[in-house]
């Protein structure tokens, strides 16, 4: 079984990014949605990125953002991957000529298939808990049984923490898992111990599934 990749999203501080990297995560996410409690200013994100070690993927999260703003921030930070978490269509996502993932609300298996088929050029789809009027960050899991087999990598999000991520991996077998609130002491402030426990739980689940 392939190793489950790990992304920690909503990084707002350099110390948190360094701690995440030290735990061995594969990617960190910067949230550029102004309506989020985990929003980070692009200039601050650029400073955080400067101190990250090699081979840690930097992802920029956007929600229905102006395309010029996305392009500007992507260039400023040399983002490795874009994450679109709003109502963006495929033409919009494809236009930046950068690798991207598209967030999909896991309403049902049928809806997941319909939405993922709309984004054939995506590097993967991120399945998150449906939440009316909210773009992720609900802290709630969804019914993992609705996840169908897809032809593209699945990134599983939505209410994950060290206690439940192992079960999620064994049931869904995602390419990657994405956590934010489950490793925080408060919104936007990561807890080094919780991040380490999360990574250990993922590695343990991979070992049991090997």
**Catalytic positions:** 9, 128
- Six-digit token string for 57: 């993927």
Give the DSSP letter string of 95-140: TT-S-EEEEEE-S-HHHHHHHHHT-TT-SEEEEE---TT--S----
How far is CA 125 from each of CA 97, 179, 189, rounded to the nearest angstrom? 17, 15, 26
Instruction: Answer yes or no: are the C-beta atoms of 57 and 27 closer than 8 Å.
Output: yes
Helices (H) and strands (E) in the chain, counts: 7, 10
């Amino acid at each position: 079984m392939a190793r489950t990749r790990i992304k920690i999203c909503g990084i707002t501080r350099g110390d948190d990014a360094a701690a995440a990297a030290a735990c061995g995560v594969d990617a960190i996410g910067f949230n550029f949605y102004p309506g989020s409690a985990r929003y980070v200013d692009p200039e601050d994100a650029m400073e955080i990125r400067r101190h990250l070690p090699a081979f840690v993927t930097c992802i920029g999260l956007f929600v229905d953002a102006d395309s010029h703003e996305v392009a500007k921030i992507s260039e400023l930070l040399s983002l490795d991957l874009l994450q679109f978490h709003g109502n963006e269509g495929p033409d919009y996502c494809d236009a930046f000529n950068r690798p991207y993932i598209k967030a999909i609300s896991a309403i049902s298996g049928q809806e997941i298939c319909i939405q993922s088929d709309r984004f054939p050029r995506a590097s993967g789809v991120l399945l998150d808990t449906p939440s009316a009027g909210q773009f992720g960050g609900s802290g709630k899991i969804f019914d993992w049984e609705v996840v169908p087999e897809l032809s593209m990598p699945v990134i599983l999000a939505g209410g994950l923490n060290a206690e439940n991520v192992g079960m999620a991996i064994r049931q869904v077998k995602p390419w990657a898992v994405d956590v934010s609130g489950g490793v925080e002491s408060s919104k936007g402030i990561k807890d080094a111990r919780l991040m380490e426990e999360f990574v250990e739980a993922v590695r343990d689940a991979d070992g049991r599934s090997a």
